[in-house]
Amino acid sequence: MKTILAIILLFSLTLGHAQTRISGNVLSKNGEAIPGVNIFIENTYDGASSDADGNFSFTTTEKGIQTLIASSIGYKTWRKEVNLSSDVSIEITIAESVNTLDAVTITAGSFTADDEGRASVMKPLDVYTTPSANGDVMAAIRTMPGTQAARDDGRLLVRGGDSYETATYVDGLIAAKPYYSKTPDVATRGRFAPSLFSGVQFNTGGYSAEYGQALSSVLVLNSSGLAETDVTGVSLMSIGAEANTTRRWDKTSLTLSGSYTNLEVYDKVFNRSIDWEKPVESGNVSAIFRYKPNSSGIFKAYVTADRGDLAYNTPMGTDGNSMLISNSGTTVYSNLSYRDCLSEKTCYRIGVSSTYQNNNLGLKLDDVNTREYNIESRFAIVHDISDAVKLTWGANETFNTYTQEYTSFEGPTFSGDFNDHLVAAFVEPEIKFSKNLAVRPGIRSEYSSVINKWNVAPRFALAWKTGKEAQLSGAWGMYYQTPQADYLKLNTNLNFEQATHYILSYQFGNVSDRLFRAEAYYKNYSQLISYETGENTLPQNLQNNGNGYAGGLDIFWRDQKSIKGFDYWITYSYIDTKRKYKYYPEKATPDFISNHTVSFVGKYWVNKINTQFGGSFTAASGRPYNDPGTTAFNDKKTKPYTDLSLNLSHIFYIGNQYSVLYCSLNNVLGNDNVLSYRPTGIESTQESSSLVPVKRDLKRMVFVGLFLNF
C-alpha cells in the first residue's frame, strides 16, 4: 500500500513539474486594459480569458515552440510563437479590427443602413403597409428623399433625372422592363411583387462601379432565399384575385403563383377623370425555384409572364373631339443566379437574366408595334485580401434587339430596328484604413456595338466615422448611358450620354432605432440627346449637344423607438435643375420637377386587436409646364400638390398561418390635383395653344384586400 501511495505521489510531483505557467496582461494600443480576451495555445484546449484588469494566467503541459493566440470580437487576432521550456510572462497588445459591427460603411447616395450588415431602409412589409403605395415597390420608394411625386407617371424620377435614367436590378441582374407599359396621361406601376424580396437598396447617385447604364440611380432588389415552410395563399381584392402555393423540401423550395386584375368595377362605381373604353385588364403567372446545395451556395430561378390591355379616349381639343388610345402587350422576364464561395476569403456570383416584350400601342387609326429582347450575363468575384482590403471585380455582357413598326390607316409609314452588344468590366477595391475611415475607388468601362463607342468611368467614395453612430460620406463618379431605343431606331451615329455626380452626406443613428440623414449633391449632364420634331412627330436632326445640371439637398429621418409600436419617417427634398435635351428649345426645368417635396409615413401597431393603422402625407410645389401661347419655354407652374392617404392591416390566424385584411384610401381629402398640362394634340409638343389638364384617374382610390394563408 505504501508503495502505491509513493508511486502516485511521485507521479503527481513529476506532472506538476512538467506544467508551464503562462501569464500576462492584454492592452489596447492606447495602453488600456481589455477584459474578456481569449488567450490560448493553438490546437489545444489550454487557455484562459483576461479579467477586468486585462490580466490572465493558465498552465499547460505543452513543450517547445508553440503559438500563443489572443482573440476577441472587435479586435484583430494576435499571434506569437513562445518557448515553453520555462514559465512565460508576456504583455499582449491587440489592435481594433476595421470590420467591427460599428465600423464605418460607405453610404453616400445609398439609402441603406449599410451594404449588407444591417437591414435595408425598406423591407417588403414597409412597401405593403405604406398607404400611398398600394403594394407597389416603386410607389413606396417615392416616399424616399430625392424622388419626385409624379402621380401621372408612376416611374422613379430621381434627382432631376428622367425615368429612363434609373436602372432596376434583381439579384444583381438587369430587369430591362421593371414597369408595365406607359401610355399618355395614365400612370404605370412596378412589375415585381414586394413579397419576392428580402430588402431594397435604393441608390440615389454615386453608386458602385459594379453597375452602369444609369445616369441617375439604381434600384437593387434582393430576392429571398429558401421558403421557410409550406403555405398556400388566396387573395381576394377589389381589383382582382391572386393565388399562390409554396412547397419546401430539405434543400429546395418552389413557389407558383397567378393573378388577375380588372378595373372595370372602379369604372362603373366611381367618377373617373379618364374616359375608359376598356379599363385595365391583366393576368400574370410566376414560378420561383430555390436550391441550397451547401451552407454558402444558393441557386435562384425566377420566371414571370404577364399580359394586359386597356383603351381610353383622351381629349384632342376644346371642340369635344377625342382620340382613342389603346395598349396591349406581353412581357416575359427570367432571372437565374448562383452564388457560392471558393474559400473563406473568396466568393462569386454568376447569373443571366432575359426580358422579352411585345407591345402594341394604338393611336386612333394608327398602330405602333414594338418588340424588344434583352439578355444579360454577369459575374462578380469578391475577395477579402485582408481584414482591411476587399476587392470586387467582374464583367457583364448585354444583348438587346429592337424592332418597331409604325402603321397608319393609309399603310406602312415607318419601321426601325437595331441590335446592340454592350460589354462591360469593372474593378473596385474597398480599403479600411481603420474602423473610422474607409475609401472605395473604382473604375468601369463599357463598349456599345450599336454606336461603336467605348467609355471609361472612374468612381470614388469615402466614409469617415465621426462618432459612435455618426459618419460623413462622400462620392464622386462619372456615369454613362447608351441613347434610348426611340433614338437608335432612327440614328446610330450617336455617343453615350454622360453625368458626373458629386455627393456629400451626414448620417447619425441606426435604422433599427433612429436614423437621421442629410445629403447634398450636384450632378452635371453632358452629351444629352436633343432633336427637332419632324414628320409624324418623329425626332429628326438627332445630336449629343444637350446639357444640364441638378443640385439639391435631401433629408431623411426615421424613428422606430420613441413611441412603442409606432414607426414613422419624414423626408424632405429640395432641387434646382435645368437642362436642354429632347425637343427643348432652351435650357429649362423639366415638367416632372417639383422644387420642394415633403413626405410623412407613419404606422402604429395596436397589439390588442392585431391591427396596424397607417397614414402618409405628401406635398410638393408646383411643376412647370409649357404654354405655347407664351414666348418663354416651361415658364408656367401648376398649383402645389397634396395627398393624404390612410390604411389599416388586421392580422388573424387560420391554423398556424397568418392572414391579413387590408384596406386603404388614397387622397382622403379629395384634392383635385392638377398634375400637369399638355397640348390637346398627343402628337404635338409645341404647336397647339390649347392645353388639357392632366389629373389622377380617381380623386380617391379605395382598395380592399383579403389575403388568406393556409
Q: Please give the average per-residue pLDDT across 491-505, as a whole number.
A: 95
Helix (H, G, I), strand (E, B), or coil: what is residue 139? helix
Domain with CATH 2.40.170.20 in the chain: 124-709
Proportion of the chain above pLDDT 90, given as a percent = 39
Cα–Cα distance measured from residue 97 to residue 75, given in angstroms and rounded to the nearest whole number: 4
pLDDT higher for 115 or 642? Answer: 642
Cα–Cα distance measured from residue 494 to residue 451, given in angstroms and rounded to the nearest whole number: 6
Q: 124-709: which CATH architecture?
A: Beta Barrel (2.40)
Q: Please give the average per-residue pLDDT across 615-633, as a whole number.
A: 88
Torsion sign across C-alpha atoms 319, 320, 323, 325: positive
For residue 596, what pLDDT is reported?
95
Backbone angles phi, psi at 383, to 5 degrees: -125, 120
Which among 358, 363, 399, 398 has a CA at the least distance from the CA of 378?
Answer: 398
Q: State the CB neighbour count (10 A cutoff) for residue 41.
A: 20
C-alpha cell at 222: 434582393
Which of the residue ranges 69-83, 122-136, 460-474, 622-636 would you say has the lowest mean pLDDT?
122-136
Q: Please give the average per-residue pLDDT across 314-342, as a whole number.
A: 85
Does position 10 have pLDDT exceeding 80, yes or no? no
Does position 104 have pLDDT exceeding 70, yes or no? no
Q: Please give the average per-residue pLDDT across 69-81, as a whole number.
A: 80
Which among 17, 18, 92, 7 has a CA at the least distance from the CA of 49?
Answer: 92
Q: Please give the average per-residue pLDDT across 551-558, as a whole number.
A: 93
Domain with CATH 2.60.40.10 in the chain: 2-93
Q: Please give the average per-residue pLDDT across 404-408, as a whole number.
A: 85
For residue 16, what pLDDT is reported?
43
Which among 118, 98, 90, 47 has a CA at the least distance from the CA of 560?
Answer: 118
Torsion sign across C-alpha atoms 313, 315, 316, 318: positive
- Model confidence at 681, pLDDT cuts 50, 70, 90, reads low
Q: Please give the average per-residue pLDDT across 467-490, as a whole number.
A: 92
| Fold category of 2-93 in CATH | Immunoglobulin-like (2.60.40)
C-alpha cell at 497: 450620354
Which of the residue ranges 164-173, 416-425, 532-541, 667-676 would you say has the lowest mean pLDDT?
532-541
Does position 399 have pLDDT exceeding 90, yes or no? yes
Helix (H, G, I), strand (E, B), or coil: what is residue 449? coil
